[in-house]
Amino acid sequence: MSSRTAQGVRARARMEVTAAIKDEARRQLAAEGAAKLSLRAVARELGMVSSALYRYFPSRDDLLTALIIDAYDSLGESAEAAHAEAVDAEPVRRWTTVAQAVRDWALRHPHEYALIYGSPVPGYTAPDTTVPPASRVGLVFIGILREARAAEGLTEPAPLPAELRPEAERMAADLAPDLPPANVAALVACWAQLFGLVGFELFGQFNRVVEDRETFFRHAVGRLAHEVGLVDGQRLTDAS
């Protein structure tokens, strides 16, 4: 066996063990929650000694970080795929399609959604490596606003209060310098509201309040699309 072949075999073996560790950790998340995740328990379930597992994840926080990045990337891939399928639709339709993809992913992966948007894990601080994966959904929405503005399909929301303008300008400079600060401020608020809608449904706050949650969600995210300044095809026609 050549050295290159041997290296390839070792790399594949490491990937397989890493995947098995993360799969078992996700099972523990579902059963016990992130706060009780234990490297020793993962090793025990996999028939490994703890010292062997530490070669893959030196600490519980390293394993949590890997799971968090995987969850953000999976959610981001779902949002990006939904947008790609709706790329020829008008802006409001693209917005609602991506929002629906976020909800669908959360309903399929409730424990991973709770890991990234639920209660903070005591004693854990997410490193900077989680920021790019966490930004993927937001970047899809920013792209929709950019495309809408290029097609003259983006209106500015109500004027910003004077006390909010410096913060809105800072957010715009950081997130999307090519968009008006009022739209960026509205986007951040609507982004938070979107995940609030999903979280309320997933964590039970809509129980005995909202029964037809699919219809309610579609209506709510449609309103959010207009709040960020997107206009649907009919409104664009009427304005021309």
Average confidence (pLDDT) over 92-120:
96
pLDDT confidence of residue 233: 64
Average confidence (pLDDT) over 213-218:
97
Domain containing residue 224: CATH number? 1.10.357.10
Q: Are residues 114 and 197 in the same domain?
A: yes
- List the beta bridge partners of residue 154: 230
Domain contains 113: yes
Domain contains 64: no
What lies within 8 Å, CB to CB, of 20 at 6+ separation is 46
- Distance, in Å, from the CA atom of 192 to the CA atom of 203, rounded to the nearest integer, reads 16
Closest CA to 64 of 10, 135, 114: 114
Helix ranges (H only) for the chain are: 3-32, 39-46, 50-54, 60-85, 91-108, 110-117, 131-134, 136-150, 165-175, 181-202, 213-227, 233-239
Q: Are residues 90 and 39 in the same domain?
A: no
Tens of pLDDT along 53-67?
Answer: 999 999 999 999 999
pLDDT confidence of residue 3: 60
Q: Are residues 45 and 163 in the same domain?
A: no
Domain contains 124: yes
Report the domain count for the chain: 2
- Distance, in Å, from the CA atom of 88 to the CA atom of 84, rounded to the nearest integer, reads 9
Q: Are residues 129 and 19 in the same domain?
A: no
The 10 Å Cβ neighbour count of residue 68 is 22
% residues pLDDT > 70 (the chain): 93
Q: Are residues 200 and 222 in the same domain?
A: yes
Pair 185, 160: CB distance under 8 Å: yes
- List the beta bridge partners of residue 230: 154
Joined together, the tokens standing for residue 152 give: 């003259």
Domain containing residue 13: CATH number? 1.10.10
Domain contains 66: no
Domain contains 11: yes
Residue 9 pLDDT class (50, 70, 90 cuts): low
Pair 10, 3: CB distance under 8 Å: no
Residue 43 has pLDDT above 60, yes or no: yes
Residue 235 pLDDT class (50, 70, 90 cuts): very low
Q: Are residues 77 and 103 in the same domain?
A: yes
- Distance, in Å, from the CA atom of 201 to the CA atom of 71, rounded to the nearest integer, reads 19
Check: pTM over 0.85? Answer yes or no.
yes
Q: Are residues 7 and 126 in the same domain?
A: no
Residue 6 pLDDT class (50, 70, 90 cuts): low
Residue 232 pLDDT class (50, 70, 90 cuts): confident
Residue 238 has pLDDT above 50, yes or no: no
Q: Are residues 229 and 122 in the same domain?
A: yes
Long-range contacts of 173-177 (CB under 8 A, 24+ apart): 175/138, 175/142, 176/142, 176/145, 176/146
Domain contains 63: no
Residue 11 has pLDDT above 90, yes or no: no
pLDDT confidence of residue 50: 86
Pair 96, 86: CB distance under 8 Å: no
- Distance, in Å, from the CA atom of 140 to the CA atom of 156, rounded to the nearest integer, reads 19
| HSE (side-chain half, CA atoms, 13 Å) at 185 | 17
For 26, the domain range is 1-58
CA 139 vs CA 57, 92, 144, 233: distances in Å = 30, 16, 9, 23
Mean pLDDT over the full length of the chain: 91
